[in-house]
Every structure is written in structure tokens, then in C-alpha cells.
């Protein structure tokens, strides 16, 4: 069993709100500098950067999960984690047509660039990524699970794009054990387990909030087992 210092919510330069400095190398260097040894990149409604960052992580000896941050029809953000790149990419491919056909305006929203390891621009994503998919909250959870992924509602305590503010409550029968929150969970959600992450958009923010997961190995099944506190496992937040 090992305790991982995990930051599972990081945006790359592909997210329009993410800094252009968020290249694969910069993300990995920042994770190393801050002692983060398990990370996931979670761009808005796209997985086009997960593979290149996973290669950079592997080269540096860091553990990695493939991720995205999906936006539901009700403007709720849901993190999605996958063990395998192919599953994450298949899910991304399935949701892309459900993203409105609205072009990005870089001057208004920011650049959306797919880059190589060293930050060379390979292509520009034309559709605005920070938009709602044509999927409800429950359909989004189901979609993530259909591709073998683990859905984790993001920053549930925030006024913007958090499930509690957007839906007025946490829907029952979601089967979500792990939720991301900056604050302690309200008493009604005490059965769930809180995870903390940086939601970094700049290299210097990586690891500013993180979760220590004690697990056998890195997988979404182990994340869930840690969230349930099974057999010596745990998930503990650390917010700076």
C-alpha cells in the first residue's frame, strides 16, 4: 500500500481559461517541484491533451489518470477519470457532437491549442470548449460510466458550476462516493467522501489543493475503495 499525493483537476493550455504556459513539460515540472506524484489533466469537454501529458508523466516516473471535466446541460461540472487512454478518448469522441457548434473567439475566451511535449502548437480547437453538452447531469454520469470511467462531481460547493448551486440539491441515486469540494461536506452528504484538487490553470497552482489517497495501486477502482476507506485505504484532503 502506498500514499499518493494527488492533484486530479488540472487544466492544460487547451482549455481556453488555461494558461498557454500549461504545456505538458511545465505541468510535469510543476508537479515534481510541488511533490505531486499522481495527477490527472481535466480539460473542459475534451481529452485531446491526455496522451501527451501521460507520456511526460511516465517519463518523469509520476502516476497518471486520464481525465476530463464535462459540463452538463444544467451547467454542472463533472470530472471524469479513466484507467485507459482509449476509454477516455472514446468518451471524448462520443460527447464532442453534443457540444454546441459555437466557434471559440480567442480574444474573448482564450486560446484552445493542442500542443506537443515541449509546447509546440499542433492544432487549434475550433469549437468553444467551455459550453454545456446536450446531456443532463444524470446522463453525463451514465455516459462516463458507459465508457468505464469514474464520475466525480466537481467543486460541488462553488456558486458557479457546482451541482448544489445549479440543481439546488445533490440528486439521490447517483452512486457517487467521491465528490470534489473546497469546503467540508454538508451534513446531508456526509456519506460521501470529499476530494480536494487545485483546479489549476497556471503551473504555479498545481498541488495548491490535493488529496492523499492510500491505495494498492493507481486505478479508478482503487480511488473508489480509498473513498470508502476499505482495508486501510483512505482519501484525505490537504488544502493550503
Nearer to Zn ion, 31 or 154 (CB): 154
C-alpha cell at 183: 469546503
DSSP character string of 53-96? HHHHHHHHT-EEEEEEEEE-TTS-EEEEEESSHHHHHHHHHHHG
**Least CB distance to Zn ion at residue 32 (A):** 21
Give me the sign of the Cα torsion angle 239, 48, 90, 43. Answer: positive
The one segment of 64-72, 189-197, 208-216, 224-232 that binds Zn ion by CB under 5 A: 64-72
Sole window of 132-140, 142-150, 166-174, 192-200 interacting with Zn ion (rule: CB under 5 A): 192-200
DSSP state of 1: -
Closest contact distance (angstroms) between CB of 232 and Zn ion is 31
Which residue, 71 or 215, has its beta carbon nearer to Zn ion?
Answer: 71
d(C-alpha 84, C-alpha 219), whole Å: 9
Q: How far is the CB of 114 from Zn ion (least distance, A)?
A: 18
**Binding of Zn ion by 199 (CB under 5 A):** yes
CB of 153 to Zn ion, least distance (A): 10
Q: By CB under 5 A, is residue 157 in contact with Zn ion?
A: no
Q: Closer to Zn ion at the Cβ: 37 or 199?
A: 199
Nearest distance, CB of residue 69 and Zn ion, angstroms: 5
Name the residue whose CB lies closest to Zn ion.
77
- Give the number of other Cβ atoms within 10 Å of residue 230's Cβ: 12
The interface region with Zn ion, picked from 68-76, 87-95, 112-120, 225-233 by CB under 5 A, is 68-76
Q: Is 225 in the site for Zn ion (CB under 5 A)?
A: no
By CB under 5 A, residue 180 contacts Zn ion: no
Total of residues contacting Zn ion (CB under 5 A): 5
Kindly state whether residue 77 participates in binding Zn ion, applying the rule CB under 5 A.
yes
Q: Which residues are within 8 A (CB) of 106 and not within 5 positions of it... i.e. 6 or more apart?
A: 16, 112
Q: Which H helix or E strand runs over 194?
A: strand 193-195
What are the C-alpha distances in Å from 230 to residues 9, 63, 173, 176, 223? 24, 21, 21, 16, 10
User: Which residue's CB is nearer to Zn ion, number 34 or number 44?
Assistant: 44
3-state secondary structure 132-182: CCCCCHHHHHHHHHHCCCEEEECCCCCCCCCHHHHHCCCCCCCCCCEEECC
Where do contacts with Zn ion occur on this chain (CB under 5 A)?
69, 77, 154, 161, 199
Amino acid at each position: 500500500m502506498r500514499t499518493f499525493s494527488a492533484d486530479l483537476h488540472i487544466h492544460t493550455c487547451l482549455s481556453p481559461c488555461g494558461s498557454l504556459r500549461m504545456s505538458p513539460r511545465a505541468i510535469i515540472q510543476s508537479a515534481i517541484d510541488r511533490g505531486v506524484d499522481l495527477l490527472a489533466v481535466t480539460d473542459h469537454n475534451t481529452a485531446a491533451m491526455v496522451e501527451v501529458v501521460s507520456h511526460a508523466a511516465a517519463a518523469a516516473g509520476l502516476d497518471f489518470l486520464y481525465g476530463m471535466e464535462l459540463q452538463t446541460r444544467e451547467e454542472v461540472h463533472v470530472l471524469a477519470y479513466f484507467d485507459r487512454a482509449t476509454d477516455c478518448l472514446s468518451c471524448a469522441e462520443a460527447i464532442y457532437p453534443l457540444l454546441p457548434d459555437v466557434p471559440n473567439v480567442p480574444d474573448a475566451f482564450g486560446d484552445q491549442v493542442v500542443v506537443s511535449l515541449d509546447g509546440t502548437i499542433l492544432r487549434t480547437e475550433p469549437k468553444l470548449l467551455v459550453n454545456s453538452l446536450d446531456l443532463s447531469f444524470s446522463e453525463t454520469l451514465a455516459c462516463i460510466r458507459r465508457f468505464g470511467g469514474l464520475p466525480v462531481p466537481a467543486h460541488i460547493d462553488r456558486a458557479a458550476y457546482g451541482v448544489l448551486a445549479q440543481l439546488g440539491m445533490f440528486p439521490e441515486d447517483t452512486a457517487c462516493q467521491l465528490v470534489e469540494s473546497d469546503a467540508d461536506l454538508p451534513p446531508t452528504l456526509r456519506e460521501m467522501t470529499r476530494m480536494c484538487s487545485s483546479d489549476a490553470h497556471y503551473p504555479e497552482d498545481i498541488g495548491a489543493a490535493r488529496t492523499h489517497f492510500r491505495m494498492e495501486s493507481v486505478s479508478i477502482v482503487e480511488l473508489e475503495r480509498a473513498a470508502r476507506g476499505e482495508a486501510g485505504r483512505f482519501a484525505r484532503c490537504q488544502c493550503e
